[in-house]
């Protein structure tokens, strides 16, 4: 939460309305003005800070989507368990507890990363990079542990291999018209 507030103050931009951060409630969305930095992947430090914030929000949104599907599956499993006299499962409780513990772990881990780099301009990129990588790993863990099957049944969602940004770039390039080559020579 401290990092999100610090970044918002440093950048004077509102977070993306696309996803609520797992690390605090979203702030009111404001329109960009000409003097506010925007995401430019090969731009200044402030522009790169905007990019990592957008990347974090996108990764958090994907993780939340995977978590929601996992919770639905866990809830259905809990409801169906114990039908043959066995003990009922508590998958929703365990999944929620693991998510709560994960959030606390990431807060501590990435606060330490921020502290290590707090005197440098790279601190935001490095600390948000920590959150992005942890979120990507958690999303994959949720997928592997809760959205796949032990047999040949297809997973409930695709394996999250690439970053959300990479996936968007791939979709953008596949949507672009193919270049025409003159073969009449």
Write the DSSP assignment of 19-75 as a string of letters.
Answer: ---TTSPPPPP----TTS----TTS-HHHHHHHHHHHHHHHHHHHHHHHHHHHHHHH
Residue 16 inside a domain? The answer is yes
Q: What is the pTM of this model?
A: 0.74
Residue 177 domain-assigned?
A: no
Decide if 170 is inside a domain: no
Q: Torsions phi, psi of 133, nearest 5?
A: -65, -40
Q: What is the mean pLDDT of residues 5-17?
A: 40
Task: Please check whether residue 156 lies inside any domain of the structure.
Answer: yes
CA 167 – CA 154 distance, rounded (Å) = 20
pLDDT given at position 109: 98
Domain assignment of residue 181, yes or no: no
**CA atoms of 91 and 96, how far apart (whole Å):** 8
**Domain count along the chain:** 1
Q: Is the pLDDT of residue 31 over 70?
A: no
Residue 101 lies in a domain: yes
Is 27 within 8 Å of 8 (Cβ atoms)? Answer: yes
What are the tens digits of pLDDT across the range 38-61? 999 999 999 999 999 999 999 999
144-164 average pLDDT score: 95
Domain with 34, as residue range(s), is: 2-79+88-164
């Amino acid at each position: 939460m401290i990092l999100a507030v610090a970044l918002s103050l440093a950048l004077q931009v509102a977070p993306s309305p696309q996803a609520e951060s797992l690390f605090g409630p979203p702030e009111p969305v404001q329109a960009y003005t000409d003097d506010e930095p925007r995401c430019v992947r090969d731009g200044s430090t402030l522009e790169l800070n905007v990019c990592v914030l957008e990347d974090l929000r996108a990764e958090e949104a994907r993780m939340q989507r995977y978590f929601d599907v996992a919770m639905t599956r866990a809830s259905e499993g809990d409801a169906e368990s114990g039908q043959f006299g066995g003990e009922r499962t508590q998958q929703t409780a365990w999944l929620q507890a693991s998510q709560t513990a994960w959030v606390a772990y990431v807060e501590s881990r990435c606060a330490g990363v921020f502290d290590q780099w707090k005197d440098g301009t790279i601190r935001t990129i490095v600390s948000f990079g920590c959150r992005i990588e942890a979120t990507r790993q958690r999303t994959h863990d949720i997928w592997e542990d809760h959205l796949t099957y032990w047999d040949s049944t297809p997973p409930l969602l695709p394996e999250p291999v690439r970053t959300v940004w990479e996936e968007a770039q791939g979709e953008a390039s596949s949507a672009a018209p193919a270049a025409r080559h003159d073969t009449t020579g």
